[in-house]
Amino acid sequence: MTAQIIDGKAFAAGLREKVGELAARFEAAAGRKAGLAVVLVGDDPASQVYVASKAKQTVACGMNSFEHRLPADTAQDDLEALVDQLNADPAVDGILVQLPLPKGLDEQAVVARISPDKDVDGLTPTSTGRLALGLPGLVPCTPLGSLMLLKDQLGDLSGMDAVVIGRSILVGKPMAQLLLGENCTVTIAHSRTRDLPEVVRGADIVVAAVGRAEMVKPEWLKPGAIVIDVGINRLDPEPGKEKGRLVGDVDFAGASEVVKAITPVPGGVGPMTIAVLLRNTLVAAHRNEGLSDPEGL
């Protein structure tokens, strides 16, 4: 068996196109563009690249991008005051504080300050509670993007056995909640799980989100399973090369001989994250204006 490669890049492009079409309809209905505010504290190079990409794609979809770049020595009170200001700004529908924050700043306090109705990262305690209770809310981008890819492959997920490897608040826990919401039987596995290979081997769906390069081996996987690899790890460079290859948490080459379908790294889940961020911003804009959620998102 050679697995089908799940093309997250192509799916994300289609999602961004749909968001762009619906953003134009929102502007016509509301008399304004949907708006996303991104707050970047400090000068972390990776975060700067990521924020620039978000801003570019936000504008390309016909929405407003508001960037706030603050120095690394910004005080906690000043950062929280900016979040309060953005909460009160009717032109801002989504607020994203780029993580990690510089040392000395309380990330949890800053995130909790964001209005749940503008929490496009889905990380506030209220958003987390809404997801757990099955109430309408904004959901973390990477898990929701992963679910979209799964449903595109499988349609109805009801009754399937799913294993999520990893229990982070960013991916593992919300992913498990989303799969429960689709009537899967869900196991959350992690570093303390006994006989992890045996646990994974029973799964129809495997979501790997641990941050350990190629940890999941092909012999761990059920033939015909669907694998969503959220991990992104850089290997040591080969002789004569400046950078090492990017790989996921799953042994891609080996797994491809066993499973039915698998996301590659790069080009799988990664492109979905920003596309879903744009989707969440537009959904938030509709709700903030008292409009029904946009159809098809």
Among 33, 54, 118, 173, the active-site one is 54
Would you call 54 a catalytic residue per the annotation? Answer: yes
3-state DSSP assignment of residue 234: strand
Output DSSP code: residue 68.
Answer: E
One-letter amino acid of 239: P
Task: Label each residue of 87-139 as H, E or C.
Answer: HHCCCCCEEEECCCCCCCCCHHHHHHHCCHHHCCCCCCHHHHHHHHHCCCCCC
Of 37, 138, 129, nearest to 83 by C-alpha is 37
Element (H, E) at 144: helix 141-154
Among 93, 117, 119, 121, the active-site one is 121
Distance between CA atoms of 250 and 264, rounded to whole angstroms? 9
Would you call 121 a catalytic residue per the annotation? Answer: yes
Structure tokens at 181: 């919401």
Would you call 243 a catalytic residue per the annotation? Answer: no
Known catalytic residues are 54, 98, 121
